[in-house]
Structure 1
Amino acid sequence: MTTAATTKVQESSAPAITGLPDMKVSVRQVFGIDSDLEVPAYSEVDPHVPDVDADYRFDRATTLAILAGFAKNRRVMVTGYHGTGKSTHIEQVAARLNWPCVRVNLDSHISRIDLVGKDSIVVRDGKQVTEFRDGILPWALQHNIALVFDEYDAGRPDVMFVIQRVLEVSGRLTLLDQNKVIKPHPAFRLFSTANTVGLGDTSGLYHGTQQINQGQMDRWSIVTTLNYLAHDEEVEIVLA
């Protein structure tokens, strides 16, 4: 165990795969959490890396769950009340790892086509041709992207079953329209945020949320809860 905040990963003799983390960061030094865990990270900033909020305060349990997702390629769902900073928490962890992160809001307008892709007419060599354009899911799956599905419990059923295909760590996405099977990039990560735990709106606060297939809920490796902070902690954040 090194005391430095960052440690270079030893090079492997295996064929090089672009977009892999090239260093590790100390959880203790970077996140202020008493743990010997080291997490893969990038030394360079990508355009998709969120901006760092230097004053952000990390919740220990939530941060460790998200870090486990990055370090061990686990599927992590963060649940809790509105306004608790669930999505921001994931973004700020990604920002400190220099890990590209893309958020998708699963509102009622997001369709299967938006996720998977569709045929589009393009002009090539002066002629109109039809070619398949990947949606956000195949694109992210093939890159070192941390994909975050916001409002996961508001997604349409047909959309949710598309996501279910890739919830397994080795989950490959089959594009039936293209007779193509996409293998996930080794640095692809999947996260989600939700106000409920897959049970729908039982409190009356979140009209429009839906029950999530329990077979799909079981595929999320880690489900953690982030709720409102104690009064004194909120005061410290405001003062910061």
Structure 2
Amino acid sequence: MNSIFILGGKGRELMTIEEIRLNHLPDTKISMANTFNIDVNAFILAFSRPNRLVPQIEPGFQFDKQTTLCILAGLLYNKRVLVIGQHGEERVAHIEQVCNRLNWGCIRINMDSCLTRFDLIGRESIVIQQGRSIVKFKYGLLPWVLRRPIVLVLDNYNACKPETKFIFNKLLEANRKIIITENGRIIRPNACFRILATSNTLSGSQVGTFQENSTQLDRWNFVVRVPKLSFNQELVNQIPNKAMRKSIAKGIVELARLSRHLKKRNKLNLLFPVKTPLTWSKLSITLIAIGEAFKYAYLNKCERFGRVLINKKYIEVFKSKHSTKCC
């Protein structure tokens, strides 16, 4: 077996595939209502013990009912799920947090345009054995993942080149398997192997993305769009410092709403994503300065005309003229 290094789930440390031991079948049931806080009176299979590929938990994560049910259906009934949403709308996090609650191992691949068949399937290489040079096939990540009870997440699926995506065609069909033409081997997936993907557009309209092939897109059983998250008190409750929550929570939410309104009117070039309030609040604790933290977390990322406008809104919301001028 090859020594492919992958990123661990809980400790986020590097490990080789020989170091990972996984349970092969779910052995317990959990309540969907209690686990995901959604009004569905049902139980779902899960693993009783976590492994090193289970993603880290986000304690305050808010599960969207429709998205969660589609992901759970994909895991329970072995269906292919494509999650669509804009930057900051928790596409991958939604999948990872479902996997965390189920103790289901999860590996995420960034589907950038440089990804090739050799990276996924493997390639023939010259190795030295007993002092002699021989040609040996070295497997990529996909054959290893297929044999194990792992959720494979193809992140930014629309950023992958169309010719590379054809590798997944057989995996997205009911009779799933891959054929390695170099050595003639047929690899069939583990009974608990699952494949999901995320995308921020299907049209290829964003820089660095490709338009989806209609026949390839048809292979996904569930295509769910993540709803836009609001900057409500539940989101701000994830701020770790209680004193900071009381002092700036209301202002953060108000400024976030104003920035989104300005973005809709094309007066700002940069969306205020839902992760920005958390980044902003944590920097405020580190720097002991709300204005300075806002500058580094969001303001400096805006174009010049937008920086002036959003800076004025900051002063209005926080009733402060403290320095928030950009670097």
TM-score range, shorter chain: 0.7 to 0.9
Give runs of aligned pairs for residues 116-195 of structure 1, distance below 5 A: 116-195=121-200
Contact kept in structure 2, 1:73 and 1:169, CA below 8 Å: no
Aligned to 2:212: 212
Q: Which residue pairs with 1:200 in the alignment?
A: 204
Q: Which amino acid aligns with 1:35?
A: V
Match for residue 3 of structure 1? none
Q: Cα offset for 1:126?
A: 4.7
1:10 match: none
CA distance in 2, matches of 1:101, 1:118: 24
Tell me, in whole angstroms, the C-alpha distance in 2 between the residues paired with 1:159 and 1:62.
27
2: CA distance between counterparts of 1:44 and 1:144? Answer: 13
What is the aligned partner in structure 2 of residue 237 from structure 1?
235
Q: Partner of 1:66 in structure 2?
A: 71
Deviation of 1:125 (Å): 4.2
Q: Give SS of 1:28's match.
A: helix
Task: Note the aligned Cα RMSD (angstroms).
Answer: 1.5
What is the CA–CA distance in structure 2 between the aligned matches of 1:230 and 1:117, rounded to whole Å?
Answer: 43
Shift of 1:37: 2.7
CA distance in 2, matches of 1:126, 1:93: 49
User: Quick check: 1:100 aligned with 2:105?
Assistant: yes
TM-score norm. by structure 1 comes to 0.85
Output the amino acid matched with 1:187: C
What is the count of residue pairs matched by the alignment? 216
Q: Structure 2: which amino acid aligns with 1:238? A: V
Describe the shift of the 1:187–1:123 C-alpha distance in structure 2 as closer, same or farther (beyond 3 A): same
How has the CA–CA distance of structure 1 residues 47 and 207 changed in structure 2, closer, same or farther, with 3 Å as cutoff?
Answer: same
Partner SS for 1:96: helix
Q: 2:61 aligns with which of 33, 56, 63?
A: 56
Q: Per the alignment, in what secondary structure is the counterpart of residue 50 of structure 1? A: coil
Percent identity, please.
Answer: 40
Deviations 1:138-177 (A, max 9, x none): 1111111100001101111221100112101331111111
Which runs of no fewer than 5 residues in structure 1 stay unpaired? Answer: 1-17
1:45 and 1:121, CA in 2 relative to 1: closer, same or farther beyond 3 A?
farther
* Paired letter, 1:208: G
Which fold has the larger relative contact order, with Cα–Cα distance below 8 Å and residues 6 or more apart in sequence?
A: 1
SS of 2:96 mapped into structure 1: helix
Q: Which runs of 5+ in 2 are unaligned?
A: 1-22, 239-327
Q: Which residue of 1 aligns with 2:39?
A: 34
**Aligned partners of 1:36 and 1:114: how far apart in 2?**
42
Please say if residues 60 and 237 of structure 2, whose CA atoms lie closer than 8 Å, have aligned partners that are also in contact: no
Residue by residue, what CA displacement relative to the aligned partner does 1:205-232 show, whole Å, maximum 9, x if unpaired? x212111111111110000011321233
Mark the CA change 1:37 to 1:133 in structure 2 (over 3 Å): closer, same or farther. farther
Q: Hey, what's the Cα distance between the residues in 1 that align with 2:168 and 2:234?
A: 39
User: Could you give the per-residue CA deviations for residues 184-205 of structure 1, whole angstroms, max 9, x where no partner exists?
Assistant: 1110000000001x3221xxxx
User: What whole-Å deviation, never above 9, does each CA across 1:110-147 have from its counterpart, x for those lacking one?
Assistant: 11111111123344445443322221221111111100
Q: Which amino acid aligns with 1:137?
A: L
User: Between Structure 1 and Structure 2, whose CA radius of gyration is higher?
Assistant: 2
Question: How many Å apart are 1:237 and its aligned residue?
Answer: 1.2
